[in-house]
Copies of this chain bind each other. A is one copy, B any other.
């Protein structure tokens, strides 16, 4: 993992060099607060890895990798307002620390900043880079809208759910790899295969998130265990459980979803139902199906086998994370 650590270090250096004006303070302070609040930096690493597979020189992918991380953080800032999520990575989210207006406007500024970083790449690929980014950005908005729409519904199907996480989460991971690949100078075919890998791996990661929320190690998860259950959040596990439940189980599940008892008692009861219905295993099977489908696509990419392996290892480690 030395190569990955080196890429990571390079990214952090480029990020540090990013110029942010000091004034107006309420516009730019939340930007640094957010972008310097850690995070796994998964997406910028995918940009750089996508580039490395086709080109040793990643200089033209550096600013675009910052763009992707900035864009991702912009979505978090706005999503946190919409979801009323007071915490982000263990610290107050922007709207909570300041207010909604500050979060709206500094989020907007982050979106523009991400375009400013994105265009700092070689001219020959600029139009394609922008097309990929714009399409993806719009899809991410669509995914967030679907997610919010789901809160008002209790008849979301598994296929609708998978489409939502494809848009909300997976396309940005896929586009990160594809942007790197295009900047690295590869063919449309290779770039697309890498995209398909990222898309399937991204869906697998989100399914993993759903599973870890219930079954992860609390200390590492860094948030309340079973938070999705407490919030009645539509997840693969809940939707699958609803799909498979007998009449009796459905009525029991509904009594927990609509009832007034929450906290660990609710989590334990719903988890017991999940166990009866075997939904953890079903979710894990679905997750690995997507991940392996992704790996199949990665195998077909014509590029540096060394960097392909590093990417595969990076993704596989994410699949085996415990929080």
Interface residues of A (CB under 8 A from B): 21, 23-24, 26-27, 78, 81-82, 100-101, 104-105, 107-109, 111-113, 115-116, 119, 123, 126-127, 130-131, 134, 137-138, 141-142, 144-146, 148-149
CB < 8 Å neighbour of A141 from B100, B105, B134, B138: B105
9 nearest A-B pairs in the assembled complex, by CB-CB distance: A24-B145, A27-B145, A112-B137, A82-B101, A109-B141, A116-B134, A112-B138, A119-B130, A115-B134
Residues of chain B within 8 A (CB-CB) of A138 are 109, 112-113, 116
Chain A to chain B contacts (Cβ below 8 Å), 22 pairs: A23-B142, A24-B142, A26-B145, A27-B142, A27-B145, A78-B105, A78-B108, A82-B101, A101-B148, A105-B144, A109-B141, A112-B138, A113-B138, A115-B115, A115-B137, A116-B134, A116-B138, A119-B134, A123-B126, A123-B127, A126-B126, A126-B130
Give complex CA distance A67, B23 in Å.
27
Residues of chain B within 8 A (CB-CB) of A137 are 112, 115
Give complex CA distance A119, B131 in Å.
8
Residues of chain B within 8 A (CB-CB) of A145 are 24, 26-27, 105
A141→B112 contact, CB < 8 A: yes
Known: A26-B149, A27-B145, A119-B131. 20 other contacts (CB 8 A): A24-B149, A27-B141, A27-B142, A78-B105, A81-B100, A81-B101, A81-B104, A82-B101, A105-B144, A105-B148, A107-B108, A109-B141, A109-B142, A112-B138, A112-B141, A113-B138, A115-B115, A115-B137, A119-B134, A130-B130
Chain B residue with minimal CB distance to A84?
B101
Counting every copy of the chain, the complex holds: 2
CB < 8 Å neighbour of A24 from B112, B123, B131, B146: B146
Chain B residue with minimal CB distance to A135?
B116
Tell which of A27, A141, A149 has the most Cβ of chain B within 10 Å. A141
Give complex CA distance A82, B108 in Å.
13
Give complex CA distance A104, B145 in Å.
11
Residues of chain B within 8 A (CB-CB) of A101 are 81-82, 148
Residues of chain B within 8 A (CB-CB) of A81 are 100-101, 104
